[in-house]
Structure 1
Amino acid sequence: MESSRIVEFLKDKSILITGSTGFLAKIFVEKVLRVQPEVKRLFLLVRAADAASANQRVQTEILEKDLFKVLRDKHGDGFHPFVASKLFPVAGDIVREDLGIQDSNLREKLWKEVGIVVNVAATTSFDDRYDVALGINALGAKHILEFARRCVRLEMLLHVSTAYVAGEQSGLILEKKFLMGETLKGGSYLDIEAELRLVDKKKRELRAEYATEEVEKLAMKRLGMMRARHFGWPNTYVCTKAMGEMLLGHLRGDLPLVILRPTIITSVHRDPLPGWIEGTRTIDSVIMGYVKGKIACMFGDLDIVADVVPGDMVVNAMMVTMAAHSNQRSEFIYHMGSSVRNPMTYSTLEQSA
């Protein structure tokens, strides 16, 4: 698809973005503002107590980052007026119905104006508390779908998942949707409502025993890993992301839906700031540990492929799918990785370090 078509598509669009203070969402927001200054509005859902707190988080956790240097240089003294006219922080939380947006007038405004919903919100910790991961990765996806359905101008919902919902399979993995209750272990059925009841029961038992907060946290983390492995997934993160996909596919009706499944997302390759990354994430923590000598050795096969993809390329794919599938009342799934066309082995990492 020609880049000019994507840029034109974004003109006058109002987009609701969840997980907006996260790594990938920052890259997405910067790219949209830079390539299409005539975008109408980007509504940024931020976990915050009120509008003032949401505004503060957007300022400190998004706009003050080095990632926005190119945009700041481009607009000069007009940078702050420009972003103020385009960005609209929204205090809320995807774990709640109506995305936790308390202001009824603001909800109505979003339902009237938003044409595209982009869900990048997730907890990506492999062994997060089961109750937390279910709330964000599974029920959060459901709440976003329900909110999107009320947007009268809706053109599509773009949901960023992970390629590892496929589990630990090998070979070429097809872009296949999950049916409700489907698992990676034959003979088992995943009842999401039953999992929620299991979590509630476990928490009641712990509190009846006057368990400390730390004990409850460890118990919830262990429960998540145990249930994930019971259903065939290696960890809580990918299991609950698969649940989120199931809920979206089952409940969407004729709502236009695209699910993008990237592999391991790494630093920016080219655009706007080559090499930019925020903290150490996923495989980056291993690389940094090896480079700094904190990890002396690792057991493994140097010929194994590390399927990584730069953050800016994931954002490019997000924008392409938006332009390609707007108003198409079907469900589309795309895997995004590098292992087929440009594989990188762990020996490459060793040599680069």
Structure 2
Amino acid sequence: MDKCGSAMEFLENKNILITGATGFLAKSIFGGENLEGSTKCQETLFTVKSSKRDDSFGTQLIEKCIILIVKVIGKDLFQVLKKMWGGDFDTLISEKVCLVPGEVSLSEMGLKDSNLVAEMKNQVELIVNLAATTKFDERYDVAVGTNTLGVKHVISFAKQCPNLKLLVHISTGERGGLILETPYKLGESLNDIQGLDIATEQRVAEEKFKQLEESGASKEAITSAMKGLGLERAKMYGWPNVYVFTKAMGEMVINDVKNNLPVIIIRPTIVTRPSTVILLDMLQVTVGYATGKLTCFLAGITAIIDLVPADMVVNTIIMAMVAYELKPSNKTIYHVGSSARNSMRYIDFQRFNYQYFTKKPWINKDGDAVKVEKVTVFNNMTSFQKYMNIRYLVFLKGLEFANKVFCHSFQDKYNDMKKKINFVMRLIQLYRPYLFFNTIFDDTNAERLRMDIQKKDRETETFLLDPKEINWEDYFMNIHFPGLVKYVFK
């Protein structure tokens, strides 16, 4: 590379603002193996979500410093850095990291110290916007505030940074069939329904919340109603959940207000833990299966699980920044996933689980090895619904009848069982699109990026960028499952 020399040289002496610092990907960026030797970055500015209370700025800062230390620096992901730098690790962190409590859903990202804001705007050269709520059933007001309006506030802040070279926005994608690396247009829906307007969606969320508060609804009732509203609005325009809906609107905001601001968008698929670090994804399916609690599973056996290790996402973010510095391009959306080039299917996931936990069964707290069998897989909703009716709903009806006959003697048991069944069915409906996933994320731009970067810089061969390099069986058997057993199983 004539201009940057290498990816690490590109990051030298750069002041970087990362929003969503306690999030999964931010920790991967900060503690990633590929950055472990880079100490020349002047400052990495982390904004950490504030609690929106009326506490003083100083009190919030102390609280957020503690949160960052516990939730980020204290994680095992940073053991590599701690081992490398030893007693100098804390000094390195204090020199390279400036802790900034903030809230992207607020104007100026909730930053209250005017002197600090002015300093940040003057110094920041790169912004990586990772702040997001990723819950599929998040409250609508929260999701709109963070995933949609938050983007607007980050863009506004970026425009006031005279030395800014690039803003990287982390998004996602959701629609059936082939998803291209093309932008969302303002007002675009997935089902061709007209009338999608971001200002209207903001007003709908605010008015619903106000109505619930004025009616004296409890916090639990408000949360439930706002979650329901989010799902309702998402499905109205063709999205399966509030997360991907509000993230799509966030992209619409970018294309509407960025003007000449240099922006690239990274769309990861389902992000797992790093492919070379024994600290892995907490898939509850595996936990339930290995502990003997999961005996059946709903999924399209040939459906795709579009997974991507976190380090591949981080590497793509870095390389996309380097490529843009070398040659600004209109190819500014990159998909990072495996469905186009090295897809894994649910049948593979089922096989890996069975192979691993028959050879290395989980030992429970009593010291007994939990024996697992092959799970019953329901390949469609009809067969699963039939199973639920026979196994649980008939018994629930009987319990309801007995409860009435015996003067509500079984009320608590009935309520508990009904709550659990409703919870399971709600999760099934929420995750149904991903259980029968038929989507391919086109990664033409990402592949071109990989090829261009590797031609210009041989050092990037140490960066995991190509999904074809992933051996899924090796990943699950030697990294994923051992990591779950070590860090997740109780």
Q: Which of 219, 225, 236 is matched with 1:219 structurally?
A: 225
Output the CA distance in 1 between the equivalents of 2:37 and 2:72: 18
State how far apart, in whole Å, the 1-side matches of 2:186 and 2:160 are: 23
TM-score (norm 1): 0.93
Report the 3-state secondary structure (helix = DSSP H, G, I; strand = E; otherwise coil) of the residue aligned with 2:235: helix
Q: Is 2:114 the counterpart of 1:113?
A: no
> Is structure 2 residue 147 aligned with structure 1 residue 137?
yes
Question: How much does 1:330 deviate?
Answer: 5.0
SS for the counterpart of 1:298 is: strand
Q: 1:331 to 1:96 in 2, by over 3 A?
A: farther
Give the total of aligned pairs: 342
Please point out which of 245, 260, 266 is paired with 1:260. 266
For residue 265 of structure 2, give the secondary structure of its aligned residue in structure 1. Answer: strand
RMSD: 1.8
Give 1:163 deviation, angstroms. Answer: 2.7
Cα distance in 2 for residues equivalent to 1:267 and 1:287: 15
In the TM superposition, 1:336-351 aligns within 5 A as: 336-351=336-351
1:144 is aligned with what amino acid? V
2:26 alignment counterpart: 25
Aligned partners of 2:160 and 2:288: how far apart in 1? 46
Contact 2:138 2:230 in 1 (8 A): yes
Per-residue CA deviations over 1:294-324 (Å, capped at 9, x if unaligned) read: 2211122211110000111111111111111
2:123 is aligned with 1:95: no
CA distance in 1, matches of 2:70, 2:78: 12
Q: Identity, % of aligned pairs?
A: 39
Aligned counterparts of 2:349 and 2:242: Cα–Cα separation in 1: 27
Residue matched to 2:45: 43
Name the amino acid aligned to 1:158. Answer: V
Aligned pairs for 1:165-244 within 5 A: 167=175, 169-170=176-177, 172-244=178-250
Does 2:129 align with 1:127? Answer: no
Deviations 1:172-196 (A, max 9, x none): 3211101111111113221111111
How many angstroms apart in 1 are the aligned matches of 2:5 and 2:195?
Answer: 46
* Residue in 1 that maps onto 2:252: 246
Q: 1:276 aligns with which of 279, 282, 285?
A: 279
CA displacement, residues 156-182 of structure 1 (integer Å, 9 cap, x when unaligned): 110111133xx2x12x32111011111
CA–CA separation in structure 2 for the residues paired with 1:277 and 1:93: 28
Q: Does the 8 Å CA contact 2:193/2:237 hold for their aligned counterparts? A: no
- 2:78 matched residue in structure 1: 68
- Bigger Rg, structure 1 or 2: 2
Q: Equivalents in 2 of 1:127, 1:307: separation in Å? A: 21
Alpha-carbon separation, structure 2, partners of 1:182 and 1:148: 25
d(CA) in 2 for partners of 1:199 and 1:9? 42
The answer to which structure has the higher helix fraction is 2
Q: CA deviation at 1:331?
A: 6.7
Deviations 1:88-135 (A, max 9, x none): 100111111111110000000100100000011111000100000000
State the Cα distance separating 1:285 from its structure 2 match.
2.3
CA contact (8 A) 2:173 2:179 kept: no
Equivalent residue number for residue 333 of structure 1 = 333
Tell me, what secondary structure is at the counterpart of 1:79? Answer: helix
- The SS at the match of 2:328 is coil
Shift in alpha-carbon separation, 1:66–1:111, aligned structure 2, 3 A: same
